[in-house]
Structure 1
């Protein structure tokens, strides 16, 4: 046994300084190292950037023999070996992709005791069986140990064979390390590795230097450009769900003048290595990547991480944001969240062996994204670490939501769900509440129910957010397996019939920032036109202009830009009499002004702008513009094709997409939309067919 006496502790500190250049340990490192030196099996759970690698690298130097390090990625192993070699420590890697001559050279060094550490992938470990029995092994280290657990977020089947290590080498200490493991995963790691009595060390998961920011997923690209504009040449990572979206976003960033590269598993090893090298050396400060990127990349000056889509679980999210701010300096993490991401991730999980568990983890991730209290409390609480005070370094702490009595809105939404017999998805519920005059509503006769149009005064996107809040509060629930239909819970009955009060948070609107001089000019133009009209009307009525409308009212018109009488009624200073007397005159000026600006935009951009900025539903856009809804949905598809961030999944369910794509194999002429239309007996509109084939 290696006894950690005072002199040995001095030796350890000497190794720390001489080999790694540090004067002192990070929290928990010394205890973990002493546990390994005392021949204990050990489980170490430490945050990314907390110094996990040192916990086995330093004991490997202090104990006689070679440390065998099982690691999941070649990139990770290469990075570690390069770092150790640079520190004068003899280390190498063994994997099946090496040329045979190189493998033989590694095995020769291993046999001769020339290596202090050997890194090997779990799949390649069986190739070393005979050799391991004939050499002195100082310790086994299982890095990224969550990969051994089917409860973990990166399950790797080859890891499950590692339990034989303790059977084969019962006297050799084994250390398992990971940055992300909830309690079930921790228990499973100990069981799978056959180390039930392992000493367990759990460091604080808190990374106080990381600013945690979650925003709605509308206009993601625009938000990213605004975000990057303030960050110069700082290094950062943008995580996307698909290979296609990484390439698309990287191209968009390049077109805007940023040095960005896409990274995903579809690239050749050579391409991935080059991109990784460019990032590490600051030649390409921005990487747009799938989750394939980042594991084991020890770049300390990553100043920000953006999640373009919501991750599938909190472990993955925590690990990925942990790749920023490793130097302890301030870093910004930004997560975009949309309901469409949830639907997509649920689809990925459905039908898998661990479907129920994955969906439960996804639900926790969704709850975190939609939280209206301190983010850090929610994040640390997930890992079993509880803090009393709010962190002061997240979006909720910086800008706490303002609440209002939303009981009436909640009652309207619940009533609509009830009157629709709990058979409709959110989109239809919102259409009914808003009084949308579209074919789907009228075909089902929903224009005749009592709740039709009772929430027409609430913007479509605001109403969507309030409905999501009711889902989060447990007042509504959603059946994803049944076309996403909304159902009432027992709490909804209390809201409808027992006077239960509901608090809703105000929806924060993302205000588009444009150049000050351009804004001033556009606003001044409209304000002057309104003032000219006011003067004309005042002259005709032979009264002072301010009696018609004050400047404050004109400014409010200029700000709200009402398009119809209903919206004009919301302007400050507009009562019923003035609405009746002046609305039409002022609306003409406002609409003419806005149309002159919008006429310079392509038609699909105009529809997109009305949907995003004015919160109008597709049917309202069609009515306003004198178009068919078919055309409006076509504009949305074109906007998506041109790089606009619009969630098409909110208009069409995954079941409909699958049904339409399945029909493609059965049709004689799958290139003709009419074939699909007739195949589905004209029950699925053309726009849905187009959208399904596009997605």
Structure 2
């Protein structure tokens, strides 16, 4: 069986007892030397699908990636797990690139990461053709398709790979590809001969919400404040808006950084590294930021403007919640966005067929925004995927909007547009309908029109919503030339004659948080951590941050939030128990185990010194009072585990205390090794440690996500941390789990 070839490596290097659903099929197809296209949701483990075969096969695996930061992060993470990986890119010095190439050419590297433009240089191709290449992996493969949401000319040259390396399997991966894009990728990369594996697009841990843009600043501030201390992305359409929005957030105490193409490369890199390595940083960015960002604990994505398409929207929100824990998204949009997006398409140099295709994609997105049904069903439907039941977790499911028959309202707006010569914008038409005799209306004599004042049954905001929905529905067209006049489309003329129907939704009140649950919703969407486990979780996150800074890697590369959550619940005491935590492999046990175990021990000691009993909160704090940001993450991890014993452990304050101690241990290690904390161990691994409390290296190795190399590097540190925590409990007469 092929699994016999990769299972030992999966456990020894990555610390995973098994693969996720869908990964095995892709990995085995690659090992059988098939060309493969893997369409997998963000966070589903795409990188493991080529990293694991790379370690099974003899020779070198080439990985084509669009972003230098992503390559650097993945190489750093692989090295922490004991894998010989290299990258050659423009951010490194010539001597560093030369040293990397010497390692590759000498056969000492298993993976080489390259950007597409460097990969396809004739000199590089000639050099690579002399090496024993066993696999070529193309990440973000949708960039090769002109139908994709992020077409990059640099990717076009990759269509030559099949001819340049005729006997080498090509594995392409993307999280964002509709049917046309998938077909285009297969045609360009392997002449339609590859096998396509689509795991589906559903990301049930992401809460979807869309609102008409009313008060942008207030809505943004309320949304960000509802995620205190958490990392997130705010997407803006322009560079100026990016700078202004970042400044607004900073003025209200939020650690916000701008990111756009107008910044010099060094400043962009500095901001990205801060975002990757620190907790609680909010990146305010144009769409130039985010592709391939390997940060697992992004808790929210906010759009100040309408994205370019459903594919772009899916890709951008998909950067949240890669650790499988709950994440929130909110998109704001307005009539001006629709006009602007239409203008972008009309003024492009693309051929008419491509423009028509882009208009269709925009219409699909507008239908999603204005729809009254389940957001998740609509989103998945755009990718030819069916969700049988409403999700119960999006804004429409939780607060179903009222939908009304709008024939009369639609005809009033269209009549006003017709009688005013189809040359005025929405605000003017609304004033006519409301009977506002402005100076301009009187100058044009439009206060004497039959439609003047016929719309007083609605207020200005309601008419704005109706006009927006008429434009989105294709009944009205805004002047693409920039003057803003509203003209009646053929579909609108049919509505005037009664041959078309129009229904409009009543925009709900602005809600920045999650309100009452709808049918079918589950508590796991609203809670991740037991309140009494919160302190340990935070302590473990701090430990992770320290380690991340030490190792100069993003925090999630030490351990994910999911691992920290598991660790806080389990409170492992030994490396063996730590190894049972999800996401803790042998290498990370060796590298970071002692630090996190020590953090858990210290947490228990502090708890005893405060005289707290298991399950109690700090003095003066109500058990019902709100906790700090990662509380939701831990509770959700508990509720999703399906393991009653684990749930009981997470309900124990001791687990949370130990989890915090482990996070501090991880943070210390991260600083020592100059890597982001997550590269030591994930939060999920720390949580499992906190629950299991391993007391030996074999026990620590059984924690999820701990491989041999990390066990050797960090195991003793984490075991010591757990021992300290447990000993302190015993000294104070508390149960030790």
- Please say if 1:53 is aligned against 2:50: no
Pick from 317, 321, 324 the counterpart of residue 325 of structure 1: 321
Pick from 89, 101, 104 the counterpart of residue 98 of structure 2: 104
Judge conservation of contact 1:41–1:195 (CA < 8 Å) in 2: no
**Aligned match of 1:159:** 155
**Aligned match of 1:430:** 430
Q: Identify if the C-alpha distance between structure 1 residues 468 and 244 changes in structure 2 by more than 3 Å, giving closer, same or farther.
A: closer
- Please say if 1:43 is aligned against 2:37: yes
**Aligned match of 2:75:** 81
Q: Which runs of 5+ in 2 are unaligned?
A: 514-737
Structure 1 residue 492: deviation in Å?
Answer: 4.8
Judge conservation of contact 2:372–2:403 (CA < 8 Å) in 1: no
Structure 1 residue 497: deviation in Å?
Answer: 4.6
**Aligned match of 1:21:** 15
- Please say if 1:197 is aligned against 2:203: no
C-alpha separation between the residues in 1 aligned to 2:75 and 2:256?
27
**Aligned match of 2:244:** 248
**Aligned match of 2:459:** 459
Judge conservation of contact 1:240–1:307 (CA < 8 Å) in 2: yes
Judge conservation of contact 1:416–1:451 (CA < 8 Å) in 2: yes
Q: Identify if the C-alpha distance between structure 1 residues 179 and 407 changes in structure 2 by more than 3 Å, giving closer, same or farther.
A: same
**Aligned match of 1:358:** 358
Judge conservation of contact 2:424–2:486 (CA < 8 Å) in 1: yes
- Please say if 1:444 is aligned against 2:444: yes
Greater Cα radius of gyration, structure 1 or 2:
1
Judge conservation of contact 1:278–1:284 (CA < 8 Å) in 2: no
Structure 1 residue 434: deviation in Å?
Answer: 1.8
Q: Identify if the C-alpha distance between structure 1 residues 342 and 503 changes in structure 2 by more than 3 Å, giving closer, same or farther.
A: closer
C-alpha separation between the residues in 2 aligned to 1:482 and 1:324?
35
Structure 1 residue 27: deviation in Å?
Answer: 2.1
Q: Identify if the C-alpha distance between structure 1 residues 172 and 362 changes in structure 2 by more than 3 Å, giving closer, same or farther.
A: same
Judge conservation of contact 1:79–1:296 (CA < 8 Å) in 2: no
- For residues 211-230 of structure 1, what are the structure 2 equivalents within 5 Å? 211-230=207-226
**Aligned match of 2:141:** 145
Pick from 257, 262, 274 the counterpart of residue 253 of structure 2: 257
Q: Identify if the C-alpha distance between structure 1 residues 151 and 490 changes in structure 2 by more than 3 Å, giving closer, same or farther.
A: closer
C-alpha separation between the residues in 2 aligned to 1:310 and 1:493?
27
Structure 1 residue 499: deviation in Å?
Answer: 8.6
**Aligned match of 1:386:** 386
C-alpha separation between the residues in 1 aligned to 2:406 and 2:152?
47
Structure 1 residue 344: deviation in Å?
Answer: 2.6
- For residues 557-572 of structure 1, what are the structure 2 equivalents within 5 Å? none
- Please say if 1:504 is aligned against 2:504: yes
Structure 1 residue 456: deviation in Å?
Answer: 3.2
Pick from 281, 293, 313 the counterpart of residue 309 of structure 2: 313
Cα distance per residue 1:469-510 (max 9 Å; x no partner): 334445444453584443445665565454976543223244
**Aligned match of 1:335:** 331
**Aligned match of 2:537:** none
**Aligned match of 1:372:** 372
Structure 1 residue 57: deviation in Å?
Answer: 0.7
C-alpha separation between the residues in 1 aligned to 2:405 and 2:370?
19
Cα distance per residue 1:560-612 (max 9 Å; x no partner): xxxxxxxxxxxxxxxxxxxxxxxxxxxxxxxxxxxxxxxxxxxxxxxxxxxxx
Runs of 4+ in 1 over 6 A off after TM superposition: none
C-alpha separation between the residues in 1 aligned to 2:100 and 2:502?
67
Structure 1 residue 155: deviation in Å?
Answer: 1.3
Q: Identify if the C-alpha distance between structure 1 residues 476 and 209 changes in structure 2 by more than 3 Å, giving closer, same or farther.
A: same
Cα distance per residue 1:340-384 (max 9 Å; x no partner): 122233333322325443333223222222222111111111111
Cα distance per residue 1:535-582 (max 9 Å; x no partner): xxxxxxxxxxxxxxxxxxxxxxxxxxxxxxxxxxxxxxxxxxxxxxxx
Structure 1 residue 28: deviation in Å?
Answer: 1.2
- For residues 530-609 of structure 1, what are the structure 2 equivalents within 5 Å? none
C-alpha separation between the residues in 2 aligned to 1:474 and 1:242?
26
TM-score, normalised with respect to structure 2: 0.65
Q: Identify if the C-alpha distance between structure 1 residues 252 and 474 changes in structure 2 by more than 3 Å, giving closer, same or farther.
A: closer
Q: Identify if the C-alpha distance between structure 1 residues 43 and 433 changes in structure 2 by more than 3 Å, giving closer, same or farther.
A: same
Judge conservation of contact 1:237–1:305 (CA < 8 Å) in 2: yes
Q: Identify if the C-alpha distance between structure 1 residues 103 and 482 changes in structure 2 by more than 3 Å, giving closer, same or farther.
A: closer
**Aligned match of 1:116:** 110
C-alpha separation between the residues in 2 aligned to 1:502 and 1:284?
44
Judge conservation of contact 1:42–1:200 (CA < 8 Å) in 2: yes
C-alpha separation between the residues in 2 aligned to 1:231 and 1:283?
12
- For residues 169-180 of structure 1, what are the structure 2 equivalents within 5 Å? 169-180=165-176
Structure 1 residue 158: deviation in Å?
Answer: 1.8
Match of 1:177, SS?
Answer: strand
C-alpha separation between the residues in 1 aligned to 2:313 and 2:128?
37
Judge conservation of contact 1:261–1:284 (CA < 8 Å) in 2: no
Judge conservation of contact 1:96–1:124 (CA < 8 Å) in 2: no
Match of 1:124, SS?
Answer: helix
C-alpha separation between the residues in 1 aligned to 2:471 and 2:173?
37
Match of 2:117, SS?
Answer: coil
Judge conservation of contact 2:476–2:486 (CA < 8 Å) in 1: yes
Cα distance per residue 1:444-481 (max 9 Å; x no partner): 32222211111134211211111223344454444535
Cα distance per residue 1:9-60 (max 9 Å; x no partner): 1231221111112122122111011111000011111111111111111111
Match of 1:417, SS?
Answer: helix
Judge conservation of contact 2:231–2:279 (CA < 8 Å) in 1: no
